[in-house]
Copies of this chain bind each other. A is one copy, B any other.
């Protein structure tokens, strides 16, 4: 496998660079040991202008000066020939076609857009959950006639915490039984809506009990993410009921989750207290491929899951930055009178829930040998 800390960093192109996800990609790559920002793509309206003028920079760290001066280009594959990896923060309204064009040009694309997430040969990867799904890349290349390129997608921002929790419990399925029922009620941060996104009139002294399209994603994406690495990558007997709320929080999606295990398993004989204890252990001992010595990815959180014992945690403001925003926090693990176990989970929606998953997926793909320098292959 290729070493991640190459002397020469891989060159990254960013699509949708002026948007909220694009800005986060830039921030995460600013001091990254393995990648450097090479090219900034945006809409025709921004193209041709210095990035510093085209963008309304909303990050809490200053825009690097070198990037401020760089000229924005349109999102056409030929302008990204000297990029080894493409991070897409494109809006769903345009991402579908543009990403396919880049893929046809044999680019390695890691996309935050929803368009291709559920395509059967496209891995949908939460890097601390199902990194092994990246091993579907060879089959994707074969099917689509690619030499080095690939298309990998990042999950919905609200799915990441939910999937980390479920994956940890699945690791104990011999004891707990397979998860077959999940009830999840989210309290999601406003940064998930981009910028300007939510009106301040809706988010002061208020909660909005609806996020368009979000519940559908939460009820379907985990089924693919938690599935096995095989066509069609889908679990079949998992039912998720999701309710999504928007709350006055800048960053950090919280979810109140209840999980039920299959009744016919031998494990179903555990009483609630015993199942809760097993769940706490499962969360505490959770490990991910990205954090292992074998891959040793720069951004991989160690540990990937923080179990908090204080009764009133996790809290978005205090816990979202654990593991630099790549770790998930879980607290209040306790029996559920209706299903089996319930708890609260928190994940940073714009880091592990968006751009950070992209960066960490790229690190893993590189460590696995799927992501290589582009000059190595002529097309």
Contacts and interface: CB of A to CB of B under 8 A. Distances in A.
A203 interface: yes
A257 to B, nearest CB: 9
Contacts of A240: 337
A196 B245 CA distance: 19
Contact of A219 (B185, B311, B312, B337): B337
A315 B196 contact: no
B248 A204 contact: yes
Contacts of A4: none
A316 B205 contact: yes
A16 to B, nearest CB: 17
Give the interface centre of A198, A205, A240, A247 by most chain B CB atoms within 10 Å: A205
Interface in A344-358: 344
Given A239-B338, A248-B248, A318 B206 contact: yes
Given A185-B256, A200-B202, A201-B196, A250 B317 contact: yes
A222 to B, nearest CB: 13
Interface string A301-339: 000000000011111111001100000000110001111
Interface string A172-193: 0000000001110101001101
Interface string A197-218: 1111111111111101000000
B344 A209 contact: yes
A207 B314 CA distance: 9
Interface of A: 58-62, 181-183, 185, 187, 190-191, 193, 195-210, 212, 219, 239-241, 243, 245, 247-250, 254, 256, 258, 311-318, 321-322, 331-332, 336-339, 342, 344
Closest 3 CB pairs of A and B: A196-B199, A200-B203, A185-B185
